[in-house]
Every structure is written in C-alpha cells, then in structure tokens.
Chain A
Amino acid sequence: MSNPAIPLNDAPSQLRDLVVIGAGPAGMAAALAAQRRGLDVLLLDEQPQVGGQIYRSITQTDAQRERILGADYVYGKSLADQVRASGLTHWAGASVWQIDPDKTVHVLRNDRTTRIETKSLVIATGAMERPFPVPGWTLPGVMTAGAGQILLKNAAVVPQVPVVLAGCGPLLYLLAAQYLRAGVEIRAVLDTSAGTDWRLAIRHASSLLAGWGYVRKGLGLLREIKSAGIPFFKDVGGLRIEGEDAVRQVRFTSAGHSQQIDCELVLLHQGVVPNTQVSWSLRAEHHWDDEQLCWLPVLDSWGQTSLPGIYIAGDGAGIGGALVAEMQGALAGIGVANSLGFGTSEDGAQQRAQIAQHLRIRPFLNQQYRPKDEFRIPADEVVVCRCEEVTAGAIREQVQLGCVGPNQTKSFSRCGMGPCQGRQCGLTVTEIIAKEANLPPQEVGYYRIRPPLKSLSLAQLAAGV
C-alpha cells in the first residue's frame, strides 16, 4: 500500500571511479586531481555550495566579508573556481546516510534516496569543534567559535552584544581578530591554555622555525587583539557558564584569581578534531593519538585507510589546516588514479614533502594549545552528552559497575543515543572511561557507529531503493 505522493527514487547510477564525500579543500582537490587524470568523479556535499567549513560560502561572499575574514579565506576562491571550470559533477545538498562495505554510497538529496556505486571513495568530511563540556554549555547564548565564523562567512552575521571568547587555539584568536575588524565588541578573551612553557617551545624550536609562517600569523593575530585593549585573561580554569534559560554570566579563575563577567553570548573553542563519524561507521582502523588527544584513522602514504579503495584526506585524517587538506586531497586523488590504472606513475613524493613541511608546526601547536584535562574530562556534575543530558558522573558510575567501553555505557544510560549519535560526547566519554577504568583510550575504544549517518525519515526510507 504505497503512498503515491512519495516520489520514486532515481535508478542506481552507473559505476563511478571515485566518489568524494565533502567539498572542502581536501574534497575539491581530490576530485580535481582524479578528474584531471581521466577518472569519472562525483563530488558530494550536504551544503548548497562548495567550500566546506573553512571556505564556507566562498562563492557568495563580498568585499566587506573578504576584508574581515582575511587572505587565507579568500584563497579558497581559486579552488572553487577550478571546480566550476572543470565541469566536475557536484551534488550539493546531498547527505550521506549509509556506506556499505562494497563502497556503495547511500545519499538523500531533494527528499529522494539514491544509491551510488563506485570503485573508490575519498572521505573528506573534515573536522569539527572539540567538545568543550563545562557547566552551562548547553544554554542558549553558548556557541562554538567555529559557529561564529560560519555565521560571518555564511550570513554576514556578527554578534550584536558584547561577546566572551573562551578557550584556546589559533581559531579563537583568528575569530577575535576578525570580529575586531568587523567592529564587534569583544567583552573578554578567556584563554584556557596553560601558558607558554618556553622549555617545551625550545624543544619544538625547529618546528617553530619551519612553521614560522604560521607562527608569525598567530603572533600577528595576538598583537591585533592585545593592541585593541580587550580584557585578556590567562590560564583560565573552573569555567562555568550561568543563567536560567539563557547565558547571564561566566565565572572562572585566571591565574588563581576568581573572576565573573556578565554577558549574554559566549563562544567556546579548544581546537578542532577529525570528524570520524563516517570512518568509524565503516569500521576503518583508528588509533588514539596522545598528542592530538583524538582518534586518527590509520592511513597509508596515499591516505588509504585499512579498507582498500577508501581514502581519507584533510582534517578528517588529522588536523593540519586548509593548505595541508588541499595537498592531501590531491595526493589521494593521485593515489586513486594510480590504483585504478589510469596510467600515472606519479609517486606523490613532492606532495608528501610539502605536507610534511606544513605539518612541522603541529607538535608545537598541539603542545601550546593542549586542552586542559578539566575541560576534556570534566567534573561529575557536567553534562557530557548534550542530547540525552548524561553527566560525567553517570559515566563514572557505570565504569564502577563494570562498564569498560562506550557501547556498554550507551546501553545503560542512553549516552550517545541521541540525535547527534555521539558526535558531541564521543571523545569525552572515551577519555572519562579511560581515566576511571585506568585503561588506555585505545583499549576503551569508541562508539559503534551505525546508519543512518544523517537524519532519514520513515517516508524517505520507505520509498528507498
């Protein structure tokens, strides 16, 4: 008894050489590199335009935003232009809800489900903000710094009220500088990094020198912020966001002294981490990286995962930034072309050397902006699963009852079962269990990720292929 109003789905498309999921710098570069070597490529993204998050809305921006956002953002135009000029098949508004072991990609687009068969896959779904669980982080008026940047890029929207920026890492300072250029009032910057440990900096001296371009940029941002006279609090701890139905104030300590600031808008940021939802759903091998404090997919020198024919490029492979993402994308595209016998004998050495050069700054950044333990493994009262409102204390209790992994705690507490399916709590839960059970995170593992990867309604599924 089917409902005639549900449209029939597209017939399965022809077998592609390559499907690229994600149209940020890595995805665009991978698609271009493969297409230029003769492959039949399909580029998918759930957003309406290419650009990913780092170059969000790059095809629809204007001079005012370009001036505020800066040259690094404007650079993304060149990639978007190349994609348009190349005639690449790009499906916008396409959300991937399942990927089969044989690489068939299931997509929802314009309310219809479609199945795409392909010989190889590049997953370029990028990064997401590291969870920042503090008391009050679910209140209206709390967002991520990345969200602030997206509002600016995507909608030319900026804070209208004084904003508190809290956390650490280059993106936070970049946003502060951008907001200054846009005339936004920054109430304060609360820097949660532990402060520069110069002995550690010296240990990374060579990487500092190698990555001096990045460092100089960062110092320039800090100069911009400090010369604007914004209250800048160092060594922030004990951060609490307070209010009834909305943010009213933040409390914290800075270098040991208690502080309180009235505010209505707080943007949080303590780094970005690979978005591993797709790679985990495929059961690709991951390993826990103690320096980056996150899961990294295990990849070969072309970016191929433990699953043949499936590659990951960009921040989803490990945080490296937009330029590295582009280079990794190109490398993966070449790797795919090689593997499918498209006659290239490129060995990728040049791309790898460039990538390595750009990654030399990372150990320093990882050390300098290492998120504090209290903001990754919070106190009992703090909600770690936003969707189901499960606290850190509840997880610890379950560990005491014998749960040694996130899938068991999920069965008990619904933690990770809400709409976001563990994206906002996964890292936190792994680390809480690891600490409480005295096990390495590698052994604790991560949530078992199942389809649908993105929302799918019963009607959409019922009409399914």
Chain B
Amino acid sequence: MVALVNPASGSSDVLVIGGGLQGLSSAFQLAKAGLRVRLIEAEYCGRHASGVNAGGVRTLGRHVAEIPLALAAREQLWHRLADIIGSDGGFVPSGQLQVAENEADEIKAKARVAMLNGLGFFHEQWVDQQQVRELVPSISPHVVGGIWADRDGYALPYKVATAYRLAAEKLGVQIVEQAPVLQVDHQAGMWQASTAQGAFHAPWLVNTAGAWAADFAAQVGDPVPMVAGGLMLMVTQRVAPFVKPVLGAMGRPLSFKQFDNGTVLIGGGLRCEADASQRHAMVDLNRMPKSAQTVIDLFPHLRDVSIARAWTGIEGFMPDEIPVISPSASADNLVHAFGFSAHGFELSPMTGCIVAELVTKGTSSLPISAFRVDRFAAA
C-alpha cells in the first residue's frame, strides 16, 4: 500500500513546499492515496497564517466560487475530523452569524441570501432581530438582523495543523523543517527543490508555500500578482461566557469569537506591515481601533476588558481575493494551492483532497476553474 520512505534514500513521489495547513492537508491526502511524500517547511509547521488565524470554520460570506469547496469541507471533513485525522482540532459547531446593523446592511444581506438561493445554495439564512437576540442575547439592541450559518463554527488552528501533521507522519510523510526552499527546477522529468539542507527530488511538486508561493510560481513560469501581507488578531483577558456563535458584521470588518476559556478573539481584515523576506510581520495596535470600536458597539459591556495580546502572521493576498488552486499552466506535474487571502483555514482540509485528485487523476471533482493560476494573464 503505502511505501514507507527511507529518509536516507531520499526517494519521494511528491515534494510539498510549505508546512501550513494547505501543505499539511495535501501531504496527508497524497499519502492516503498511496504516494510517498516529502514536505519541506521553512520554519516550523503552522508558523504563519495557518497557526495564527482566527480559526473560523466559515462557509458564510464567501465568494461564490469558493462555496462548493467550503460546503464540502464543512460537511465531509470538519464535522468528521476526528475520524479522518484522529483529532477534532477543537472544532466547535457554534454557528456563524454576520450581523446587520442598519437598514442598508439588511437590504444587502437579504439580496445576498436571495442571490445564493437562486444559485441553489441555502447554507446562509436571513434571521431577523428577534432571532438574533435568541442567538446572542447580549448583543446590542441596534442590530436589526443577520445572516446565520448554523453548521459553521470555529476550531483551533495550531491544534488542527498539528493533528494533520501527526496524521501525515503516521502515513509515512517525511517532514523537513527549518529548510527554506531557495529554488525549484524541473529537469529530465524531476522536480528539484534546493535548500540549505540539501536538494530534494520528486516527479511531482506541490506549491503550498503560502505568502512565499508566488516566488515559486514565478520560477516555474506561472507569475501571479500575489502580495504578502500581515494580518493581525488580538485576544482579550478572560471574561465570563456571553456569546456562543462566531460573529461577523455586514457593514464593517469583524471576526469575533469567545473561546471556552473565556478569552475573546477579535480580528477582521486587520492588515499590517510584513517583511516576507525576513519572515516577520509587525503588530501595530494603532491599526486596530476600528475593530475595538466595532466590538464595543456590538457589546457595550466589553469596553473595559483588557487586550492581553495581539499577534500576526504572514499571508498571501490575491487581487480578486480568491486563491490559486490549479495545476501549473506552464509546467508538468506541478499543482498550486496558495493565495487564500486570509480565509483559507476552513477550506484547507478540502484543498488537500483537491490537490491529491489533481496529482493522482489530473482532475478535480469540485469546480475549481475560478482558481486557475493563469487567470490573470492578458486575454
């Protein structure tokens, strides 16, 4: 079945660049399909976007092209994670609610739901003011309604990444850390990834290098206009439980949830400076007053709660805010999956399946044409 790799022999079927969740789930699914996989990670697995995000398991509010992937990820994977990788990753199906704070938000929300229904999607439901108060009794009375996705929720990013990692290793995936890939080359039917720790070879290459993936894409002839940026989050000190669902807001950026331990996580599109070459992003709390104000507007009683810490990681952002998930347009035996623009967490278990399908069968059973790597090329 699975040929266990002898590290000394260095023989693999697939090289996966990047030990974030996209890479880890890809490595796992490829190994499950019987391939010998080596994953190469620049720092340690889950160090950046995958380890520091808000953990939203969210189908709500997505670009239409992502919805089939998101729904499949939620139903086939997130709700069954323990069966698949031996851990539920801390997944709590708390539901996600995107609140409408005024009439303009309400109109927008209802239009969206109608549009989705028209496309055959019913996972987002309009809920009115009364229903919102039932879902979140402590929310400010000015909220007029919202969009509700009851099977969404949240999980713990680092726990999920680690669980995927352990599951992958159990299937024989070899993981090399502290090994930034400097260069990828394709010669005589073999891909070569060069690192300071040596060069690795395999017939197939998977580019899941997150904020650094565009460099590799360019090297292989698939340039994309991706930008590496920092994304900030903050967490408060513990407060007594007051909200169950994960919250967003229609009219302004917000990602907001309370963990079992009482701490409240606050985020929402908070960009900050990042130096991708130094692999470091800088927290600047001064960019967060609007998020803090949003939270206070929705929950006035939180005004005096202290922020314990803010943090950030580096993510890759695409101009159309949807990822690249596709075979290379110019080279053989290469699959890309990157550029998740700060909302790849929920998709990542399914990304791995799609990548494995592309490698083993050459096609994907989910629609991915919107995610082609060459969609930016001049027509």
Contact = CB atoms under 8 A, between A and B. Distances in A.
Answer whether A and B touch in the complex at a CB cut-off of 8 Å: yes
Nearest to A403: B44
B284 A100 contact: yes
A456 B309 contact: no
Given A98-B284, A411-B158, A451-B285, A458 B311 contact: no
B197 to A, nearest CB: 16
Interface in B291-333: 292-293, 295-297, 302-312
B283 interface: yes
Nearest to B165: A402
A202 to B, nearest CB: 45
Given A106-B285, A106-B286, A464-B285, A456 B296 contact: no
Nearest to A2: B293
A77 to B, nearest CB: 36
A458 B285 contact: no
B236 interface: yes
Interface residues of B, number: 34
A459 B284 contact: no
A437 to B, nearest CB: 13
B288 interface: yes
Interface string A74-98: 0000000000000000000000011
A452 B304 contact: no
B289 interface: yes
Interface size class of A (residues with CB under 8 A): 20 to 34
B306 A421 contact: no
B296 A458 contact: yes
A458 B236 contact: yes
B220 interface: no
Contact of B285 (A411, A452, A459): A452
A452 B237 CA distance: 12
A465 interface: yes
Contacts of B303: 3, 457-459, 462
A451 B283 CA distance: 7
A138 interface: no
A455 B306 contact: yes
B237 A458 contact: no
Considering residues B44, B46, B261, B304, which has the most beta carbons from chain A within 10 angstroms of its beta carbon?
B44
A308 interface: no
Contact of B309 (A100, A417, A463): A417
B308 A419 contact: yes
Interface in A414-465: 414, 417-419, 421, 448, 450-452, 455-459, 461-465
A101 B46 CA distance: 26
A408 B159 CA distance: 11
Given A408-B44, A458-B302, A464-B289, A101 B307 contact: no
Nearest to A411: B158
A2 B282 CA distance: 27
A349 interface: no
B114 to A, nearest CB: 28
B295 to A, nearest CB: 6
Considering residues A414, A419, A450, which has the most beta carbons from chain B within 10 angstroms of its beta carbon?
A450
B51 interface: yes
Given A2-B293, A465-B286, A452 B51 contact: no
Interface string B214-253: 0000000000000000000001110000000000000000
A450 B283 contact: yes
A3 B311 CA distance: 27
A457 B264 CA distance: 13
Contacts of B290: 462
B289 A463 contact: yes
A462 B286 contact: no
A458 B295 contact: yes
Given A419-B237, A461-B288, A456 B283 contact: no
Interface residues of A: mostly helix, strand, loop or mixed? loop
A457 B304 contact: yes
A448 B293 CA distance: 27
A288 B237 CA distance: 31
Contacts of A101: 282
A423 B94 CA distance: 34
Considering residues A101, A404, A452, which has the most beta carbons from chain B within 10 angstroms of its beta carbon?
A452
A414 B263 CA distance: 12
Contacts of A63: none
B309 A421 contact: yes
A462 B289 contact: yes
Given A458-B296, A462-B292, A98 B308 contact: no
Contact of B308 (A411, A417, A448, A459): A417
Interface in B138-190: 158, 162
A193 to B, nearest CB: 36
Interface string A86-124: 000000000001101100001000000001000000000
B296 A3 contact: yes
Given A97-B285, A98-B285, A459 B297 contact: no
A283 B46 CA distance: 21
A71 interface: no
Contacts of A462: 289-290, 292-293, 296, 303
Contacts of A463: 289
B308 A418 contact: yes
A442 to B, nearest CB: 16
B286 to A, nearest CB: 6
A97 B234 CA distance: 14
Interface string A1-43: 1110000000000000000000000000000000000000000
A1 B306 contact: no
Contacts of B282: 100-101
A212 interface: no
A343 B341 CA distance: 52
Considering residues A421, A458, A464, which has the most beta carbons from chain B within 10 angstroms of its beta carbon?
A458
Contacts of A456: 285, 306-307
Contact of B286 (A417, A459, A464): A464
A342 interface: no
A412 interface: yes
Nearest to B284: A100
Nearest to B101: A1
Contacts of A411: 46, 51, 158
B309 A452 contact: yes
A450 B280 CA distance: 12
Interface in A383-417: 404-405, 408, 411-412, 414, 417
Contacts of B304: 457-459
Considering residues A115, A404, A459, A463, which has the most beta carbons from chain B within 10 angstroms of its beta carbon?
A459
Report, nearest first, the 4 A-B pairs whose CB atoms are least far apart.
Answer: A459-B303, A462-B292, A462-B293, A411-B158
Interface of A: 1-3, 97-98, 100-101, 106, 115, 283, 404-405, 408, 411-412, 414, 417-419, 421, 448, 450-452, 455-459, 461-465
19 contacts: A97-B285, A98-B283, A98-B285, A404-B44, A405-B44, A408-B44, A417-B308, A419-B237, A450-B310, A450-B312, A452-B309, A455-B307, A457-B307, A458-B236, A458-B292, A458-B296, A458-B304, A459-B296, A462-B289
Given A419-B306, A461-B292, A464-B292, 12 more contacts: A1-B293, A3-B303, A417-B308, A450-B311, A452-B309, A457-B303, A458-B295, A458-B303, A462-B289, A462-B293, A464-B289, A465-B286
